[in-house]
Amino acid sequence: MHTQVGIIGAGPAGLLLGHLLSLKGIDSVIVENRSRDYVIERVRAGVLEQGTVDLLIQMGVGERLQREGLRHQGLYISFAGQRHHIDLADLTGGKAITVYGQNEVVKDLIDARAATGRALHFEVGHVVVHDMESNRPKITFERDGREEQVTCDFIAGCDGFHGICRPSIPEHAIKFYEREHPFGWLGILAEAAPSSEELVYTCHQRGFALFSMRSPKITRLYFQVPPEEDIDNWSDGAIWDEMLKRMSTRDGWKPNIGPVVQKGVTPMRSFVAEPMRYGRLFLAGDSAHIVPPTGAKGLNLAATDVMVLASGLAEYYTRNSTRVLDDYSEICLRRVWKAQRFSWWMTQTLHRFPGETEFDYRRQLADLDYLTGSRAAMTSLAENYVGLPLDVALA
Ligand SMILES: Cc1cc2nc3c(=O)[nH]c(=O)nc-3n(C[C@H](O)[C@H](O)[C@H](O)COP(=O)(O)OP(=O)(O)OC[C@H]3O[C@@H](n4cnc5c(N)ncnc54)[C@H](O)[C@@H]3O)c2cc1C
């Protein structure tokens, strides 16, 4: 079997790329090692930047997003028992974020892929990439107990942080920049109507907390815990107790309580692989970079990567030009590092670090007081939060 672009991974990066290529008349085969249900049900990101929303609508997969997504024109920063509103739209000339679960994005993209009739294989095993330095790289994998092989013009490594593409690149050809954080996020999904229409980021003396939502009936809440925290140590009652301690404000606002339908602990990591290309293998999304979730950037970075990659591939096939493909890594990394900077800034502004003193906490409160009192500081947060523009014009 031969295809123009072999895509490994059917997360947001792989599915978006497949659909963008299909719209440009470029063929692809997507291979995914998990089942369709697993991929659709995986609860992860929920905040879409303005540019990601615009992209999905332009691609013709934004119909349900526009109907069911929750557009937020602002957010709250909460500290010392008080919530402070940041008006994202006012500060950015009308831009906003939309809360729409990553699993819903993935579901819409799988439906769109099915409608094109192009190949999307779930539950494949032993995926291996070969001959990346050649003009005919190939992917081998097992499907229904048989070994299969797809030769490609290009391979897109969209297989997330734990995938096989990045580790297939020889050590001398790639460099990693990494930082582990001394905390993780304990997150729950609860059947409780959100008590705020907008996200509430809290810095509390007991640690960070985030109030968010997935729908008018489902609340999504997080708080900072040690990175190795065992979720079994937390009964639902203890979780609500801690949520209320950190999130409740002096004006009486607090999250609504309801049955916990999912809970887990996610460690936090910052990671960048450079360059994001080796020969004819291109890395996109989490396979190339990870940001702490505080800035809500991971899924959005994946979307921008594949937008650049699809544009480069289209230029290759229509004009026989490798201009964008040659600059792919540089174009993406410039934005990735700005997202790393922002995610790190949000993280250290709102979390408590082990070993910090009372002095550090007072300084942190002063930082937040400045942030919520200065239009310049709020604008900086707002323009990063709704998403920075791409620095280059794409065809
Ligand atoms: C708890 C949590 C909360 C988050 N919150 C946010 C948020 O609010 N906003 C935001 O923007 N981002 C958030 N993120 C990050 C976001 O979920 C990721 O950045 C996003 O999923 C990246 O998409 P991706 O397609 O690059 O990778 P993935 O979603 O990881 O997809 C990779 C796919 O490749 C498949 N795969 C792996 N190995 C192989 C293999 N060998 N062969 C074939 N297939 C393989 C995987 O099964 C998977 O389907 C969050 C992440 C987590 C964990």
- pLDDT digit string (tens) for 250-284? 999 999 999 999 999 999 999 999 999 999 999 99
Catalytic annotation on 254?
no
pLDDT digits (tens, 9 = 90+) for 163-218: 999 999 999 999 999 999 999 999 999 999 999 999 999 999 999 999 999 999 99
Q: How confident is the model at residue 44 (pLDDT cuts 50, 70, 90)?
A: confident
pLDDT of residue 29: 98
Half-sphere exposure of 65 (CA within 13 A, CB side): 29
Catalytic annotation on 297?
yes
Alpha helices in the chain (DSSP H): 12-23, 36-41, 50-58, 63-68, 88-91, 102-116, 165-168, 236-247, 298-319, 323-350, 358-373, 375-385
CA 290 – ligand 1 centroid, Å: 9
What does the alpha-carbon distance between residue 55 and residue 271 come to, in Å, rounded to a whole number? 25
Half-sphere exposure of 129 (CA within 13 A, CB side): 33
pLDDT of residue 289: 98
Q: Percent of the chain beyond pLDDT 70?
A: 100
Strand partners, 29: 6, 119
Is residue 280 within 8 Å of 129, Cβ to Cβ?
Answer: no
pLDDT of residue 343: 97
What does the alpha-carbon distance between residue 6 and residue 14 come to, in Å, rounded to a whole number? 10
Cα distances (Å, whole numbers) of residue 199 to 229, 313, 342, 379: 25, 37, 17, 17
Helix, strand, or coil (residue 201): strand
Average pLDDT score, the chain: 96
Amino acid at 54: D
CA 180 – ligand 1 centroid, Å: 18
What does the alpha-carbon distance between residue 109 and residue 60 come to, in Å, rounded to a whole number? 10
Cα distances (Å, whole numbers) of residue 77 to 81, 175, 248, 378: 10, 36, 13, 10
Pocket of ligand 1 (CB under 6 A): 8-14, 31-34, 39, 44-47, 102, 127, 158-160, 163-164, 187, 266, 285-286, 293, 296-300, 302
In terms of DSSP bridges, do strands 146-157 and 138-143 run parallel, antiparallel, or are they unpaired?
antiparallel
Q: How confident is the model at residue 344 (pLDDT cuts 50, 70, 90)?
A: very high
| Tokens at 274, concatenated | 């450079």
**Angle between helices 323-350 and 375-385 in degrees, nearest 10:** 130
The closest-lying atom of ligand 1 relative to the alpha carbon of residue 161 is 30
pLDDT of residue 24: 96
pLDDT above 70: residue 368:
yes
pLDDT digits (tens, 9 = 90+) for 92-132: 999 999 999 999 999 999 999 999 999 999 999 999 999 99
Q: How confident is the model at residue 395 (pLDDT cuts 50, 70, 90)?
A: low
CA 286 – ligand 1 centroid, Å: 6
pLDDT of residue 43: 81
Cα distances (Å, whole numbers) of residue 230 to 110, 175, 176: 33, 32, 29
pLDDT of residue 392: 75
**DSSP of 93-110, one letter per residue?**
TS--EEE--HHHHHHHHH
Mean pLDDT, to the nearest integer, of 380-388?
A: 97
Is residue 107 within 8 Å of 120, Cβ to Cβ?
Answer: no
Strand partners, 263: 188
Nearest CA to ligand 1 atom 20: 299
Please state, as a whole number, how many other Cβ atoms lie within 10 Å of the Cβ of residue 82: 13
**Angle between helices 12-23 and 298-319 in degrees, nearest 10:** 30
The closest-lying atom of ligand 1 relative to the alpha carbon of residue 185 is 1
CA 368 – ligand 1 centroid, Å: 31
pLDDT above 80: residue 341:
yes
Mean pLDDT, to the nearest integer, of 28-57?
A: 94
pLDDT above 80: residue 8:
yes
Mean pLDDT, to the nearest integer, of 80-86?
A: 98
Mean pLDDT, to the nearest integer, of 48-76?
A: 96
Please state, as a whole number, how many other Cβ atoms lie within 10 Å of the Cβ of residue 343: 23
Catalytic annotation on 38?
no
CA-nearest of 178, 184, 353 to 266 is 184
Residue with token string 């290529």 = 21
CA-nearest of 134, 135, 137 to 29 is 137
The distance in angstroms from the start CA to the end CA of the chain is: 30
